[in-house]
Structures are given as structure tokens and as C-alpha cells.
Amino acid sequence: MTEEEPEEVPAKQMKLSPTKADEENDDVECLGEVTGSEGQNNENQLTPAKREALTDFMAITNAEESAALSILEGAEWDVNKSLNFYFGTGEEHSGDEEAKGDNAASESTKSSYHQNGPVDLTGLEVSLVSWNIDGLDGNSLATRMKAVYKVVSNLNPDFVFLQEVVGRELPTIERLSKLYDIYYSNKDYLYFTAILVSKIFEVDSHYVIHYQNSGMGRTLQIIEGRIGEQQVFLLNTHLESMKEHSRARKEQFQLCMDRIREIIAANPNCLLFFGGDLNIRDDEISNIPRGLADAWLAAGADKQTQFTWDTRKNDNKQAFGARTRFDRIFWYGPLSQVKFSLAGQQRIRSCLCFPSDHWAVHCEFS
């Protein structure tokens, strides 16, 4: 864990509890929640849930089977508790328990807006994570993607924007389908983006714009849907990389701004989220539509959370101390407050690396 790592903010969820799908989600959120407290030393005698927990724990930590069994048994087969113990982050456990209590309260408060509509936005809270998961780097890829799965599951945001997803590790990403409906940009390409939406979010349309000036297969992925009667637009993108492609990147960014401007003009009361790995520099940003706000700036521009690609803290890539704010989230609409934090900052012990060379951006809007 980095010395300057900010405290993670508990996720604010809009999950509904009384559905069958959400009952199934419990196993995924805990990565194999147990049904009993007695451990089994013989792997052949493990229940399917315990066997899955053992497999997940060993894959992420690369621990010996005997050690993994001992730790899991001591944590009553809760993989999240076991991982926190293994990585030496026991203090996060109490925060997780508090978050569960807060989430339970927020779920009961929010269940009515979806069922009764039209939406009363008073008290509405929406959480979003955006993360370039660096699927193009083959180093420890399977282990890193399992860590990505763990981080996203723990945060459990309402929406997730992913960039640099690769087909090789889709089975791990697809495990999140118990929590989310997943939409991909172009799975036939070497790498692509994905938008994950809460099971209660009603999707009306999904489409992809391919940037005609991209030499890297980059796209803008758009979902239109509803929270009750509240219209919501989700725009996830991965803009052209590297400094020498500034012109193409600025053109792509302006295409995004033009599309957002069109959406707002046609739907002035909508709620809109735009973000991803923009690879953008401050001097490349211009012509932002009125009312579209940068989440990091709106949250107070905390220097501790400024750099989402930071090779001074994250050594997955060697870039001579370069650090930038490549990953950004913008939003438009009736929600006026935002909490901004970074996630994915814990090093994986087995491979001595982080889940990605980018930190995940986690925003909570209210």
C-alpha cells in the first residue's frame, strides 16, 4: 500500500434487496460466502462454496494450500476477510462492516424511487467506478484480473466503466455478471471497453461509435437507460494514447463533447456520466458543454487523488516518475455533490505488482 494512499470511501449502492437475483449476488460480493464456521482440512470434503473460496484465495495470493486453508478457516471462510488478513489490511475490515450497514440503510431508503416513479431525486445516490485494467500487459494477467474482480466486487458501485479489457480474461470479468449486466464495445478487437450496470438499471439502448481517426481501435460506448423515470446516459471511452497523438485525441474528445451537447439539448433533465481513460492533458481540453462538471475538480481537487497514472507510486510500468490525470469522470444533471477517491492501490503479494498500472477512479454522486 502506498504511503499517500487515500482512505477509500464506502460505496453507495442502489441495489434492491428483495429480488432473487440479488440473493444470488451475495455469494459473489463475498467471493464465496460460507454456510458454516467449521473448517475442512481435506479439500475433497469441501463444499462447492468453500472450494471456490479456496481456489479464489490461492489464485490471488499464490499461497500454499495448507496456508490458504488455515487462513480461510480462521476467517470463517470469508475470502474478503482472509485477503485483508493476508495483505495486512485488517483495519479495512471494520470499515467494510460499517459500509454494509450504511448500504443496508440506503437500500431500504432508495427502493421506493425505482418502484414508484416518477423519481424524487432527494436522497438519490449513484456510484461509479472507471478503470483501465491494463489487459494488454501479459505480466501476471490472470492474477491481476482476479484482483480487479475483488476490488470491483468490494466497492460494488452502481456503474463500472472498464478500458483495455481483453478476451483472454473475459471469464473473470464475466463473473461480475451476477452483480451487473455487462455491455462490450467490440469484443472482436484485440482489446475493448465495457460498461457494467446494476441489475436494477433499465437499459433502453446501447451503441458504439468508432473513432474514424483512431489508429488504435478506440471507441465511444454509450448506454441510455432509466432509474425509475429518471433518464440516464452512460458514456465510456478510451481516447488515443501517447503525446504524439495529441491531435487525434483532441478531435476524439471534441466528438465526445459534441455528442454530449446533443444529448443534453434533447434531454435537458437527464443525468449523464462521461469518463474513462482519456489520456488527456489539461491543455487539450476545451469547449466543454455548460453544466458538465469534472468530478475531481468538483470534489475539491485533492492533490492526494490527482494522479490516476502515477509511476512514482505504481511500478507496474517504468516511466521515470511520470504521473498524470489520464482517467477522468464528468457528469451532468440534478446530482450536485460528489465524493472522489482512488482504488486498486494495494500491491498483490504473489506477483509484487498492482492490479493495473492505472488506479481506479471511484465517484459517489448525490
CA distance 245 to 363: 28
Total-model pTM:
0.71
Q: At how many degrees (to 10) do helices 65-74 and 48-61 cross? A: 120
- Say if strands 192-198 and 202-210 run parallel, antiparallel, or are unpaired: unpaired
* Segment 291-340, tens digit of pLDDT: 999 999 999 999 999 999 999 999 999 888 999 999 999 999 999 999 99
Looking at per-residue confidence, does 110 or 126 come out higher? 126
> Which helix (H) or strand (E) element contains residue 91?
helix 91-116
* Segment 169-211, tens digit of pLDDT: 999 999 999 999 999 999 999 999 999 999 999 999 999 999 9
Average pLDDT, the chain: 82
pLDDT tier at 87, thresholds 50, 70, 90: low
With 60 as the cut, is the pLDDT of residue 279 above it?
yes
Q: Which three cell numbers stand for residue 354?
A: 498492482
Decide if 307 contacts 328 (C-beta within 8 A).
Answer: no
> Which helix (H) or strand (E) element contains residue 310?
strand 309-310
List the catalytic residue out of 22, 134, 158, 277. Answer: 277
With 50 as the cut, is the pLDDT of residue 41 above it?
no
pLDDT tier at 167, thresholds 50, 70, 90: very high
With 50 as the cut, is the pLDDT of residue 77 above it?
yes
- What is the fold of 122-365? Deoxyribonuclease I; Chain A (3.60.10)
Q: Which of 5-14, 33-42, 73-82, 186-195 has the lowest mean pLDDT?
A: 33-42
pLDDT computed for residue 107 by the predictor: 40
pLDDT tier at 42, thresholds 50, 70, 90: very low
Is 277 among the catalytic positions? yes
CA distance 299 to 297: 5
